[in-house]
Structure 1
Amino acid sequence: MDIVASLSALILLSPVLLVVALLVHARLGSPVLFRQVRPGRHERPFEMIKFRSMRDATGPNGRPLPDAERLTPLGRWLRATSLDELPELWNVLKGDMSLVGPRPLLMEYSGYYNDEEQARFSVRPGVTGLAQINGRNETSWDARLAYDAHYAREYSLRMDLSILLKTVAKVIRRDGVVVAPSQIYRKLSDERAR
């Protein structure tokens, strides 16, 4: 289902992908895609791709500026509409991700999951998931990871179809979108290291 759906979506959405790629190139330059290694099923690393939404800007110390300062108006719009996520369909087609599953988080969070939350790695990470339809970035880390663990234990075709339909509705309404998540919550590693 993932392969057929992602291939169909890539073909149908190719004009949208092209327009967004041209906009990103015109406003942010190259590269058009943001690539980052994330943990996949069984914590195997894979390279997740998205459209780039931030400029490369550093402070006087040479470190990147906070996300909120590097986000451009185009980047805010891409995140608000979830168009920045479309290239992840390629990750689904390759088998690194699924359409539905726990969102792939940062590699640096390894070691901060409790035993129950580790269940998230028994399934492929998803473009959308149970946590995304239940508050997205507006929920606490504990709640999001509990949704991920619940999905990993109980997933089914029926649940996946329900999540996909609810995701479409949330994207259209722009429900629960936080374009600069670092402004409202800490990284998981920072929160659990306290």
Structure 2
Amino acid sequence: MYVKRFLDFVMAFFLLVLLSPLLLLVSVVVYLNFGFPVLFRQQRPGLHGQSFVMFKFRSMRNDIDTEGNLLANELRMTRFSQWLRSTSLDELPTLWNVLKGDMSLVGPRPLLVEYLPLYTHRQGRRHEVKPGVTGWAQVNGRNAITWEEKFELDVWYVDHRSLGLDLHILMLTLRKVLRREGIAHAGDVSMPRFRGSSHE
């Protein structure tokens, strides 16, 4: 655990320094497209379900209806939104979460806090490790697979995690990002909301 945390810190620090010009450039482009705030902040569950604030670049407009409610995601997405997500550039600020220790470079992706009571006991085991910027589910389908398949892959990672596996996942992630695979689920702009599984 301590070795993984040390490597996470060193790699996140190195990447933040190396990619700082790109981070600045993306910040400017996001501002030109969506205005302030440039960063999207949201509470996400981390290790043992404890929440933290996750950072990403904004990838949608804040359009609202006549009652002041945000419009559906697909109505707030733009061509730039789709490009930003397909390149995974919106994920770069999560390196700050890795540096802080909220996340790891590799682990189950942090989902919504409201999903916590919907998990089966087995699905909830994904929180036995820190969430990751990328993970086993991301390199084996990402958003193109079902929630149940995603959670099974997360639990498999929890049971088989090692530094060697993490390195393998990081290498596969680079290939997935370059190929822009599994960005969205069929019939959705990203992934439909999780409503709970019908079986334990």
Normalised to the residue count of structure 2, the TM-score between the two structures is: 0.91
2:127 is the counterpart of 1:125: no
Task: Name the structure 2 match of 1:186.
Answer: 192
1:192: Cα distance to partner? 3.8
Task: Name the structure 2 match of 1:39.
Answer: 45
Question: Residues 185 and 125 (structure 1 numbering): CA distance in 2 closer, same or farther, change over 3 Å?
Answer: closer
Question: Residues 114 and 191 (structure 1 numbering): CA distance in 2 closer, same or farther, change over 3 Å?
Answer: closer
Q: Which moved more, 1:28-37 or 1:68-77?
A: 68-77
**How far apart in 1 are the matches of 2:39 and 2:32?**
13
Q: What CA RMSD, in Å, does the superposition of the two structures yield over aligned residues? A: 1.8
1:181: Cα distance to partner? 7.8
1:1-194 alignment runs, 5 A limit: 1-178=7-184, 182-183=188-189, 186-188=192-194, 190-192=195-197
**How far apart in 2 are the matches of 1:180 and 1:17?**
30
**How far apart in 1 are the matches of 2:95 and 2:148?**
27
Counterpart contact for 1:68–1:180, Cα < 8 Å: no
Q: Which moved more, 1:110-119 or 1:15-24?
A: 110-119
Question: Residues 33 and 185 (structure 1 numbering): CA distance in 2 closer, same or farther, change over 3 Å?
Answer: closer
Q: Percent same amino acid at aligned positions?
A: 49
Question: Residues 184 and 99 (structure 1 numbering): CA distance in 2 closer, same or farther, change over 3 Å?
Answer: closer
1:118: Cα distance to partner? 1.6
Q: Which moved more, 1:37-46 or 1:171-180?
A: 171-180
1:31: Cα distance to partner? 0.3
Q: Which moved more, 1:179-188 or 1:137-146?
A: 179-188
Give the partner amino acid of 1:60: T
5+ residue gaps, structure 2, are 1-6
Deviations for 1:155-175, whole angstroms, at most 9, x for unmatched residues?
A: 000100000000000000111
Counterpart contact for 2:139–2:176, Cα < 8 Å: yes
Question: Residues 13 and 183 (structure 1 numbering): CA distance in 2 closer, same or farther, change over 3 Å?
Answer: closer
Give the partner amino acid of 2:9: I
Counterpart contact for 1:49–1:87, Cα < 8 Å: yes
Give the partner amino acid of 1:163: I
Counterpart contact for 2:108–2:130, Cα < 8 Å: yes
1:73: Cα distance to partner? 1.9
1:60: Cα distance to partner? 2.4
Counterpart contact for 2:118–2:196, Cα < 8 Å: no
1:62: Cα distance to partner? 2.2
Please state whether the residue corresponding to 2:62 is helix, strand or coil.
coil
Counterpart contact for 1:128–1:167, Cα < 8 Å: yes
Question: Residues 108 and 166 (structure 1 numbering): CA distance in 2 closer, same or farther, change over 3 Å?
Answer: same
Give the partner amino acid of 1:84: D
